[in-house]
């Protein structure tokens, strides 16, 4: 997909890299094995799409070499520019994928779409995290803490994500980033971060970590360098393991698998039925894990939507009403020009003209919002009204709120500008030649 500046709602200014790494024995090599990496760079944050392409291209390139790479580049060069919200068919190495694009970089894509079609593997929701292996496996040691992790994401808390492999940390960081859509992720996120990164000293240092930073790492060095971080999510199977027909995912270095937080205490109740299903699925087969992983994503996506309900309800009161739209125009002074019989132009001074002022969304008032929240409540099962108020107070102080409310104002004001009725009376008097 080529770069298109006319559709910048689809990009966020970053370049994303997606890699396929292979290692196989090679007696001719001094190390005894051969390593290859195939990398796709793109300005589009489409993990599901590019990981799928690499899954097909990686093995083909390993088996047949350069011609497969040339063929892949030729296919991609013939793709059309991405249009927000469109569904396109992309040919790639003899396969055809149906690809669904989000309307914006922060738009949520529903996985229910995949269940409604005959071949879900060929229908790709590009902004989703890779679904194979099931993400549930990575969270096996912290299932009961998933609700706390989601709250920390909303509150722009920095989280260090430690995993046994780059593929696992990448999958989980992409998955976490997706959960809070359509709320913008105001902080930085790195699905896989190393000590060789050019911004290593900027993101990892003795100072408090940046708000909202999600860092996926595998090197045990980060356990020492980030010991002052408030939250550490270590992926994999809990020590002692679980009974399962599938091999466990163990982590040999770094912190023990689980969720470790120094500051966060949960505000909202868990879904006990879902938790029970997750625990049972984690001991089941791949199908059970895949279905539970999908249910988990849908659950937290729904919770994010529910979190926004009180805010959207209050914002509706800030939008000008039909009465405001039909208010009489405000008289303003303006000069009036006349043409004299000789053809010269002269001014008579000023007269009052009727000008319709632009309608805009009213400013957000924190006290009025909390009065609305107290009166109408929230669909989320907060532990208490005090916890509910404290959670929203904290969120209003995050940079995510600033980005989100600015986006809401832009959309509303744009619509209001299009709907402003034009004045019906004449605002100037011109004598024809």
In 10 A of CB 159, how many CB atoms? 24
Token pair, residue 286, equals 């791949």
Least confident of 98-107, 162-171, 223-232, 339-348: 339-348
Over the stretch 84-139, which tens digit does the pLDDT of each residue have?
A: 999 999 999 989 999 999 998 888 887 665 554 445 567 899 999 988 899 999 99
Average pLDDT across the chain, whole number: 84
Q: What is the pLDDT of residue 203?
A: 94
Alpha-carbon distance of 188 to 176, in angstroms, equals 13
Q: What is the pLDDT of residue 172?
A: 96
Query: What letter would DSSP give residue 8?
Result: G
Cβ within 8 Å of residue 131, ≥6 positions away:
48, 290, 293, 294
Token pair, residue 33, equals 């094995």
Structure confidence at residue 18 as a pLDDT band (50, 70, 90): very high
Coil, strand or helix: which one is 5? helix
173, 209, 164: which is closest to 192 by C-alpha? Answer: 173
Q: Model pTM?
A: 0.82
Coil, strand or helix: which one is 396? helix
The Cα diameter of the chain in Å comes to 102
pLDDT beyond 70 at 231: yes
Over the stretch 266-318, which tens digit does the pLDDT of each residue have?
A: 999 999 999 999 999 999 999 999 999 999 999 999 999 999 999 999 999 99
Q: How far is CA 35 from CA 21, 26, 320, 350, 393, in A?
A: 7, 9, 62, 80, 51
Structure confidence at residue 14 as a pLDDT band (50, 70, 90): confident
Coil, strand or helix: which one is 14? coil
pLDDT beyond 70 at 250: no
Over the stretch 141-166, which tens digit does the pLDDT of each residue have?
A: 999 999 999 999 999 999 999 999 99
Q: What is the pLDDT of residue 110?
A: 79
Residue 63 sits at φ, ψ, to 5 deg, of: -85, -35
161, 185, 349, 183: which is closest to 255 by C-alpha? Answer: 161
Q: Would you tell me the crossing angle of helices 47-64 and 66-77 to the nearest 10 degrees?
A: 150
């Amino acid at each position: 997909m080529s770069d298109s500046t006319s559709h910048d709602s689809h990009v966020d200014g970053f370049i994303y890299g997606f890699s396929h790494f292979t290692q196989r024995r090679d007696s001719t090599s001094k190390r005894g094995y051969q390593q290859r990496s195939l990398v796709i760079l793109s300005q589009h944050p489409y993990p599901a799409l590019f990981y799928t392409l690499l899954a097909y291209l990686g093995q083909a390139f390993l088996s047949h070499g350069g011609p497969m790479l040339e063929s892949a580049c030729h296919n991609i060069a013939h793709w059309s520019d991405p249009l927000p919200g469109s569904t396109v068919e992309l040919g790639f190495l003899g396969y055809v994928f149906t690809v669904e694009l989000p309307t914006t970089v922060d738009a949520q894509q529903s996985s229910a779409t995949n269940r409604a079609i005959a071949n879900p593997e060929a229908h790709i929701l590009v902004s989703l995290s890779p679904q194979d292996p099931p993400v549930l496996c990575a969270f096996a040691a912290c299932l009961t803490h998933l609700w706390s992790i989601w709250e920390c994401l909303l509150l722009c808390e920095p989280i260090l994500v430690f995993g046994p492999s780059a593929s696992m940390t990448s999958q989980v960081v992409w998955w976490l980033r997706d959960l809070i859509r359509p709320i913008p992720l105001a902080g930085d996120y790195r699905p896989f971060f190393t000590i060789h990164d050019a911004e290593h000293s900027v993101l990892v240092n003795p100072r408090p970590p940046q708000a909202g930073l999600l860092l996926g790492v595998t090197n045990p060095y980060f356990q020492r360098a980030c010991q002052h971080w408030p939250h550490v999510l270590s992926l994999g199977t809990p020590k002692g393991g679980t009974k399962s027909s599938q091999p466990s995912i163990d982590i040999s270095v770094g912190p023990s698998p689980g969720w470790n937080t120094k500051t966060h205490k949960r505000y909202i109740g868990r879904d006990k039925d879902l938790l029970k299903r997750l625990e049972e699925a984690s001991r089941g087969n791949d199908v059970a894990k895949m279905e539970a992983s999908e249910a988990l994503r849908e659950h937290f996506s729904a919770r994010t939507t529910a979190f926004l309900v009180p805010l959207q309800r209050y914002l509706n009161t800030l939008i000008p009403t039909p009465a405001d739209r039909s208010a009489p125009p405000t008289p303003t002074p303006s000069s009036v020009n006349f043409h004299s019989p000789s053809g010269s132009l002269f001014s008579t001074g000023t007269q009052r003209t009727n000008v319709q002022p632009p309608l805009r969304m009213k400013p957000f008032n924190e006290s009025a919002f909390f009065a609305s929240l107290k009166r109408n409540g929230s669909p989320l099962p907060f532990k208490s009204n005090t916890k509910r108020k404290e959670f929203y107070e904290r969120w209003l102080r995050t940079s995510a709120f600033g980005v989100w409310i600015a986006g809401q104002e832009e959309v509303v004001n744009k619509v209001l500008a299009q709907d402003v009725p034009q004045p019906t009376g004449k605002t100037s008097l011109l004598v024809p030649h």
